[in-house]
Chain A
Amino acid sequence: MRKGIVKLGLSVASSMKDLAPILIVVAVFQLGVLQQPLPNLVETAIGVLLVLLGLTFFINGLELGLFPVGESIAHAFARKGSVPWLLLFAFALGFGTTVAEPALIAVADEAASIASEAGVIAMTDAAREGYAGGLRLTVALSVGVAIVIGVFRIIKGWRLDLMIMGGYLLVVIMTALAPREIIGIAYDSGGVTTSTITVPLVTALGVGLASSLKGRNPMLDGFGLIAFASLTPMIFVMAYGMVF
């Protein structure tokens, strides 16, 4: 019991270190630069306390739940030796975690209003909804494809840097061809697709896979899944902008 409390105290203290920079920045700019008082001090203090607690729980849950699950699934698939099932799992994980991602929903709605203002689609709610829904599916599809490519790369041991450079080349080519309005959103959609729960799972999957396959190095081959997942949405969204 005592040990547990000490451990909890230690992890709250380390969460405090994670949070300190934001608090300092906000305080310095608010008091020093804008020269205004801090509003709602009580509410802010409660909020900070919740963030501290939340971060502590999250990090502990990571080590207890998400990491072990990602790794044990990777090991199980490696032992089973069934590549099609593994790839299907990879696709489902990428697609399923992205399609409901709140950040993506926000970006897709924003993109729809841009498109209707630019006259690409009609100025009706139905047209906007259709466009936003299509965009969400496109991005989710692209992340699914990304995880499949990434997992296949780990199995085959292909070089990550060459593949990423090929992806960059595609982005550059698509940028030249895509309508100007979609470019900013396309570039941003690469960053918003990977959520807080997806990242630990996918990382554990990649590292687990690389460490249970012969001749693969977890450091060299295990990472890189997230990199694909933030590259393909750019290409797919620009393609979507060209089709519409």
Chain B
Amino acid sequence: MALIVELLYTLVVTLRDVLPIAVIIFGFQFLVIRKPVPNLRRVAIGFIYVLVGLSLFLVGLEKALFPLGRVMAEQLTRPSFIQAGAVMEQQFHWLNYYWVYGFAFAIGFSTTIAEPSLMAVAIKANEVSAGAIGVWGLRIAVALGVAVGITLGAYRIVVGDPIHYYIIAGYVVVIAQTRFAPKMIVPLAYDSGGVTTSTVTVPLVAALGFGLSETVPDRNPLIDGFGLIAFASLFPIIAVMAYAQLAEFMNRRAAN
């Protein structure tokens, strides 16, 4: 019973999010373009599917994964847990946080694989490139990028470096890669930075950042808790270009 109420509530909230989009699209369609929407019935069914799908997805995540993920992030960053597995004598050595890095990597990778907006972009890219860009190839490249990004972001919170050094260094790498990567991949790579962090990744990653900045000494959660998402949207750009560069390199070697 409670589940049904929750489902209906989420459906209403999702509807409220979709409403402005629907108003803009259909408003322009009828007032500016002044032509009926092609296959209106199919499109309407599609919109309903998206609405219902997103609501079920969100309720399911809130039921199954988020509470567990949040508790795990909290427990893994707890000082008593870190001390119990300490490998370094010093009390607060960054190496002692190895399970946190492992969790950051694993959760970054796995949540990105399940991210619906990334699936959408991968499907589109596959279609536009006539199959040259594989749906799974792109998704795995992006997921690896997010995994590395979040791990590095967790390390940054532990050692307390200013965030902009890392981000600016990342920009330099992106610019250098842009020069050498195959031209076709560059726009897609830039886009994949923004699509990685939405419904699945943000809540879990935010919990990790917050837990970490609360328990590491001398960190302020209000300042240091932010920034993981920025890492997660920069590193996929690097990873996707690297994936294309690698593919090109392999092809050239096979040709010779």
CB proximity of B218 to chain A, nearest CB, Å: 15
Q: Is the pair A224, B191 in contact by a Cβ cutoff of 8 Å?
A: yes
Residue of B nearest to A99 (CB): B20
Q: Which residues of A contact B178 (CB under 8 A)?
A: 161, 165
Q: Is the pair B54, A197 in contact by a Cβ cutoff of 8 Å?
A: yes
Residues in B11-58 with C-beta less than 8 Å from chain A? 13, 16-18, 20-21, 23-25, 28-29, 32-33, 35, 37-39, 42-58
CB proximity of A154 to chain B, nearest CB, Å: 10
Q: Is the pair B124, A203 in contact by a Cβ cutoff of 8 Å?
A: yes
- 1/0 per position for A148-174, CB-CB distance to B under 8 A? 000000000000110011001001100
Given the known inter-chain contacts A101-B17, A185-B226, A200-B117, please indicate yes or no for A230 contacting B233, CB distance below 8 A: yes
Q: Is the pair A175, B164 in contact by a Cβ cutoff of 8 Å?
A: yes
Option from A26, A113, A220 in Cβ contact (under 8 Å) with B68 = A26
Q: Is the pair A58, B116 in contact by a Cβ cutoff of 8 Å?
A: yes
Q: Is the pair B24, A65 in contact by a Cβ cutoff of 8 Å?
A: no
Option from B59, B168, B225, B228 in Cβ contact (under 8 Å) with A50 = B59
Q: Once bound together, how far apart are the Cα atoms of A33 and B104, in whole Å?
A: 14
Q: Is the pair A102, B223 in contact by a Cβ cutoff of 8 Å?
A: no
Q: Once bound together, how far apart are the Cα atoms of A29 and B25, in whole Å?
A: 44
Given the known inter-chain contacts A48-B60, A50-B56, A196-B199, please indicate yes or no for A227 contacting B194, CB distance below 8 A: yes
Q: Which 9 A-B pairs have the closest CB atoms?
A: A65-B46, A47-B64, A61-B49, A57-B53, A64-B46, A54-B57, A50-B60, A47-B63, A54-B56
Q: List 26 A-B contacts (CB under 8 A).
A: A18-B114, A26-B68, A47-B65, A50-B57, A50-B63, A60-B53, A61-B45, A63-B123, A65-B42, A66-B46, A67-B124, A68-B46, A73-B25, A96-B24, A103-B202, A172-B164, A184-B227, A187-B164, A187-B226, A191-B196, A191-B202, A197-B50, A199-B117, A219-B188, A224-B187, A230-B193
Known: A26-B65, A53-B56, A194-B198. 8 other contacts (CB 8 A): A36-B75, A50-B57, A65-B42, A92-B24, A160-B190, A171-B171, A184-B224, A227-B187
